Amino acid sequence: MTGKIDVERLWRGWQRGPFNEFLAMELDTWDAAKGEVTFRLPFKHGYKRTAHEEGYHGGVLASVIDIAGDFALAIKTDKLGFPTIDLRVDFLRMAGDGDLTITARTVKAGRTIGVADIEVTDARDRLCAVGRGTYATSAG
């Protein structure tokens, strides 16, 4: 891509993928110059660990962390999404049922490697998970 990125258009394109469509993350705020983005994840019963207990499955949290980190780098570099090299997720507490907020910040947007830090908070504004994604920016 060249020129100024159309963040909303880029996100609409990403939402067309089957997995992203299932997740249904909503783009909330962004700052392309800083490479920062915030998403909202409306709660779905399909995100639960079990049918009878409260709480998100960890795979959902890891997925939204990866997507948000990649997207933060995409808007910072004005390039399309990048392959994930490494993803670290620390689960700090069970994310209760309800909408989640996912905030991603670009740490490094280099020629070959990009890094983003991501936080996930639940509907009670409790920090539930943090992540760091490393991406191959030369592949985008």
Mean residue pLDDT of the chain comes to 91
Residue 35 confidence (pLDDT) above 50: yes
Dist. CA 40–CA 99, nearest whole Å: 7
Report whether 82 contacts 14 (CB < 8 A).
no
Q: Give the percent of the chain with pLDDT over 90.
A: 71
Backbone angles phi, psi at 60, to 5 degrees: -65, -45
Amino acid at 110: G
**pTM, whole model, 2 decimals?**
0.91
Q: Return the structure tokens found at 122.
A: 């639940």
The residue extents of the domains of the chain are: 7-139
Residue 3, pLDDT above cutoff 80: no
Secondary structure string (H, E, C) spanning 92-131? CCCCCCCCEEEEEEEEEECCCEEEEEEEEECCCCCEEEEE
- CATH no. for 7-139: 3.10.129.10
pLDDT in tens, 94-117: 998 999 999 999 999 999 999 999
Q: What is the mean pLDDT of residues 41-53?
A: 89
Nearest-angstrom CA–CA distance, 58 and 139: 28
Q: Is the pLDDT of residue 1 over 50?
A: no
**In whole angstroms, how large is the CA radius of gyration of the chain?**
14
Confidence of residue 128 (pLDDT cuts 50, 70, 90): very high
